[in-house]
Structure 1
Amino acid sequence: MLYPAELRDLFNECKFKKICLNLKISIVFIYLKIMDTYVSILLWVIPGFMVMMTFEILYGHFTNKQTYTFMDTLSSLSSGITNILKDSLGLVVVILSYPYILDSIAFFDLESSILLYFVAFVCIDFASYWNHRLNHKVNIFWNRHIIHHSSEEFNLACALRQSISAWIGFGALFLIPAAFFGVPPEIIALLAPLHLFAQFWYHTQHIGKLGFLEYIIVTPSQHRVHHAINPIYIDKNLSAIFCIWDRVFGTFQEELDDEPPVYGVLKPVNTWNPLLINFQHAFNVIQDAYNTSSLKDKFRIWFMPTGWRPTDVIDKFPRNIIKDPHTRSKYGPNYSFFLKFVAVFHFVSINFLVYFFLSNFSIVEDDFKLLFGIIIFIAVFGFTSLLDLYKWAPYFEMIRSFMSILVLYYINDQYLLTNYNSEFTLMILYFILSIIISTIIIFYKNHVLIRFGNKIT
């Protein structure tokens, strides 16, 4: 086989517990060691992404075409952190596994060759299209995807806005063609991350149309259309790599010169907090299901087209929906210099925690990974809530920083203190400084916390 021996060994080592039901649906609990290779790849890929974003920021600065704003970028990068944690920890329950489908319907047995990899990649791209289309078209599945569209800017950082709310894995259903051709699961596992990473580059406004490539691959122009909320652009260009799927299945739309894309979602999220964004739509659907008096609507709301609401709750519980994209106001409270400094301080410190988490992922116990991951999740929630200027946020920051210190001291029989004394000291210092900063904000909030406004920082 052409896939790396390390990946093959991981699959051989990986233990699956499969429970077959009468409907032949299997529930697969994935052993976390399978993620070691993925985490190792991330340690190489993330710096590359950061370099590309830096070049885009510099290009925008020197050409006076800046597409980044300060807090929006921090929010995008913070969303990337939460997605990395979720994927690394394997927080997903697979209700339909690819190995099960492969065993059931494999018809061909392709020899290990370039052809096998090409077929596998095309099948992954086909599956991505239909999974993506489902996320856009069905109410409850939109919750899995809204985070990716939530930014009102469009730049490479937006590509990092990936979901943490996709806890139920059923994507193998769309990989039936791959199973039919007998593509081994090892090949799928190897190519799937590459397929995802290959979608990063076209999240930019600085590259125009690319001639004949517009008929072959997804380009920045096509993906700008996809992220736009202009009526003519909504739910268009759902392909990931090859744009043939949009052209064949009727979802292609060219970027029009007289219709510049306006980015975001029709119901603005109005928060920098990626954890809130990830579950905001689901919360709205739950509210509507509870408030409607129709038993039929309580059930069908989950599976209706995205944005559908029962008629008896629309007037009673109105929501702010953008009618004219060209006149909308972007979310962006005013911030003091002090609060911007606090944002950078938290973001850099949290990235230090993430780097420690990833670089030691393969050598620490699973319970340590989970507890340390929770610390980072809560840190992201706390500091982005502070950026949203919630009155309770500095109090939350004090509590979570104090609790983090306690957890770090006693986590895994003082593993950190024994083996990583310098790193442990820096972590404790971060949480102590966080408590001090939160105290300053609480006592001097009239000077450093500014009321919400529409002006972008």
Structure 2
Amino acid sequence: MNTQELIITWATPFFFVLIAIELMVARLRGRRAYRSNDSINSIGLGVMSQIAGVFLKLLTLGIYAWCVEHLALFALPANSLWVWVSGLVLYDLLYYWLHRMGHEVNILWAAHVVHHQSEEYNLSTALRQTSTGGLLGWVFYLPMAVLGYPLQVFVVIALIDLLYQFWVHTEQIGKLGWFDRVFCSPSNHRAHHATNDRYLDHNYGGILILWDRLFGTFVEEDDRDPPVYGTRSPLHSWNPLWANVEVYWATAVEAHRASRWRDKLQIWLRRPGWRPVDVAARYPRPDYDIGREIYNPPMPAALATYCLVQFALLLGMATHFLGLTAHASLGTLLGYALYMVASLSVIGALMESRRAAFWLEGARTLLTAMLPLLFGRWFGVDPLATPAALALLVMFGLSALLLPWLGVLRAAVAAAPNQRVPG
């Protein structure tokens, strides 16, 4: 486990404490800040992002390290305070441009869109991160490598910038006066996540909002026009895999439909929403409806509780997965990653109350219950202690036994569509 993964792992309990506090404050104010389906989806996407990051280190860190070693103009000392301070400011500036291009270039938006898909705005939204951002995002930080900022400085600074942005994803903190004029704040970032015409594509700063003021992309939150969250092409799914590929797929389809080769290429490089004239004429889209109903398929309370319990178990497994990265084989990590992604996808399908999801979840829970006991091992744990194997047998065996009853409840809710059960 590298430094970044270690710090995020240790910070995770702190994240959940703050989420619990936000939930409590919202309830005391008579507000509903969370829906279990949306929060599971957001945090699950954060888990997938961490899993993907394990396999993208060569791009995100390996190329940076090579550039520092072979292309650096200066040998900046890692023990100098000014290197750290200047590095943080420079990183935040480069983040501003990555973030801005993530809204202005379609292929970059395809990765960044994941963070904006939630139609809620709370601290779990902060954890909603892309799994594909590392494919191209590393390019924007190469100036730091060329200037000679050491890898260990870059890694910690990147983590500081990321962790700072956690607390600004809340509606429970209002405007903060002078702070809003200098730093990215909850008010500034609420405007960034909004789909209202007034706010769209503004406030890209990570720590400092000064970059937006300098480059003309700042907008102030207006109480007369409350932010409406999500994207202008709503996801309408709890599937974390689809959340990550949605825009890539839609863009590939549009490129295939375009008749001119120039359009097939530039659709990836133009602003999100741009369409070739011939494609727009043959495949018109409805106008964006800001007053649309949010995506919230009916789900029995018992099924919501089941999904929360299974998701909690997967969070524990995710921590175990990250702990294995320093010594486990590539095959073990790939197998564990596939199991985690498949499990998160099945839970997403359960929250959509898809009939096939109950069969898939039955297969998943039975295999998780039986195979560790039969083979005496678990991913990265060989041999697996008998008490641990029995614990998996009991937990996931009971889960499998609950599924027929949950399926009956799902059918009852589906038969009474007007009786919506909150997620």
The normalised TM-score by structure 2 is 0.89
2:27 to 61, 77, 80: 61
* CA distance in 2 between partners of 1:317 and 1:452 (Å): 31
Q: In the alignment, does 2:423 pair up with 1:423?
A: no
Q: In the alignment, does 2:43 pair up with 1:77?
A: yes
Letter in 1 for 2:295: Y
How do 1:44-123 residues align onto structure 2 when only pairs under 5 Å count? 44-90=10-56, 93=59, 97-103=63-69, 106-111=72-77, 112-123=79-90
Letter in 2 for 1:156: L
Residue in 2 that maps onto 1:21: none
Letter in 2 for 1:356: H
Residue in 2 that maps onto 1:161: 128
1:206 to 172, 183, 186: 172
Q: In the alignment, does 2:352 pair up with 1:368?
A: no
CA separation of 1:80 and 1:96: change in aligned 2, threshold 3 A: closer
Task: Describe the superposition over 1:127-161 as per-residue Cα deviations: whole angstroms up to 9, x where unpaired.
Answer: 11111111111112111111111111111110000
2:207 to 216, 241, 244: 241
Task: Describe the superposition over 1:202-246 as per-residue Cα deviations: whole angstroms up to 9, x where unpaired.
Answer: 111111221222222111110000000001111100010011211
* CA distance in 2 between partners of 1:367 and 1:188 (Å): 29
* CA distance in 2 between partners of 1:414 and 1:101 (Å): 35
Where 2:383 maps in the other structure, the secondary structure is helix
How do 1:249-328 residues align onto structure 2 when only pairs under 5 Å count? 249-319=215-285, 321-323=287-289, 325=290, 327-328=291-292
TM-aligned CA deviation for residue 105 of structure 1: 5.1
TM-aligned CA deviation for residue 359 of structure 1: 4.3
How do 1:166-181 residues align onto structure 2 when only pairs under 5 Å count? 166-176=133-143, 178-181=144-147
Letter in 2 for 1:262: V
CA contact (8 A) 1:404 1:431 kept: yes
Over the matched positions of the two proteins, sequence identity in percent amounts to 28
CA separation of 1:141 and 1:413: change in aligned 2, threshold 3 A: closer
Task: Describe the superposition over 1:32-51 as per-residue Cα deviations: whole angstroms up to 9, x where unpaired.
Answer: xxx43333222210000000
CA separation of 1:379 and 1:411: change in aligned 2, threshold 3 A: farther
Q: In the alignment, does 2:103 pair up with 1:139?
A: no
* CA distance in 2 between partners of 1:384 and 1:80 (Å): 14
TM-aligned CA deviation for residue 167 of structure 1: 4.8
* CA distance in 2 between partners of 1:331 and 1:280 (Å): 16
TM-aligned CA deviation for residue 268 of structure 1: 0.7
How do 1:4-15 residues align onto structure 2 when only pairs under 5 Å count? none
Moved more, 98-107 or 308-317: 98-107
Moved more, 405-414 or 279-288: 405-414
* CA distance in 2 between partners of 1:244 and 1:421 (Å): 57
How do 1:185-204 residues align onto structure 2 when only pairs under 5 Å count? 185-204=151-170
TM-aligned CA deviation for residue 166 of structure 1: 2.6
* CA distance in 1 between partners of 2:153 and 2:295 (Å): 42
TM-aligned CA deviation for residue 126 of structure 1: 1.3
Task: Describe the superposition over 1:172-224 as per-residue Cα deviations: whole angstroms up to 9, x where unpaired.
Answer: 44441x23542112210222112211110111111122122222211111000
Letter in 1 for 2:96: Y
Q: Which sections of structure 1, spanning at least 5 residues, go unmatched?
A: 1-34
Moved more, 265-274 or 364-373: 364-373
* CA distance in 1 between partners of 2:119 and 2:325 (Å): 34
Residue in 2 that maps onto 1:330: 294
Letter in 1 for 2:28: F
State the number of aligned residues. 420
CA contact (8 A) 1:96 1:173 kept: no
Moved more, 288-297 or 260-269: 288-297
Q: In the alignment, does 2:411 pair up with 1:446?
A: yes
Letter in 2 for 1:121: L
CA separation of 1:193 and 1:428: change in aligned 2, threshold 3 A: farther
* CA distance in 2 between partners of 1:442 and 1:420 (Å): 33
* CA distance in 2 between partners of 1:39 and 1:399 (Å): 31
* CA distance in 1 between partners of 2:333 and 2:417 (Å): 37
Letter in 2 for 1:38: Q
Task: Describe the superposition over 1:313-337 as per-residue Cα deviations: whole angstroms up to 9, x where unpaired.
Answer: 33543445523x2x22111112212
* CA distance in 2 between partners of 1:46 and 1:424 (Å): 26
Residue in 2 that maps onto 1:9: none
Q: In the alignment, does 2:320 pair up with 1:356?
A: yes
Where 2:10 maps in the other structure, the secondary structure is helix
Residue in 1 that maps onto 2:118: 151
Letter in 2 for 1:282: Y
CA separation of 1:403 and 1:314: change in aligned 2, threshold 3 A: farther
* CA distance in 2 between partners of 1:255 and 1:382 (Å): 38
Residue in 2 that maps onto 1:393: 357
* CA distance in 1 between partners of 2:393 and 2:407 (Å): 21
CA contact (8 A) 1:237 1:243 kept: yes
* CA distance in 1 between partners of 2:66 and 2:76 (Å): 18
* CA distance in 1 between partners of 2:63 and 2:417 (Å): 46
CA contact (8 A) 1:267 1:320 kept: no
The normalised TM-score by structure 1 is 0.83
Task: Describe the superposition over 1:234-265 as per-residue Cα deviations: whole angstroms up to 9, x where unpaired.
Answer: 11000100112111111111111221111110
Say which structure is richer in helix. Answer: 2
* CA distance in 1 between partners of 2:415 and 2:240 (Å): 21
* CA distance in 2 between partners of 1:425 and 1:320 (Å): 54
* CA distance in 2 between partners of 1:320 and 1:167 (Å): 33
* CA distance in 1 between partners of 2:121 and 2:325 (Å): 32
Q: Which sections of structure 2, spanning at least 5 residues, go unmatched?
A: none
CA separation of 1:427 and 1:321: change in aligned 2, threshold 3 A: farther
Letter in 2 for 1:426: A
Task: Describe the superposition over 1:380-402 as per-residue Cα deviations: whole angstroms up to 9, x where unpaired.
Answer: 01111111122322222233444
Letter in 1 for 2:259: S
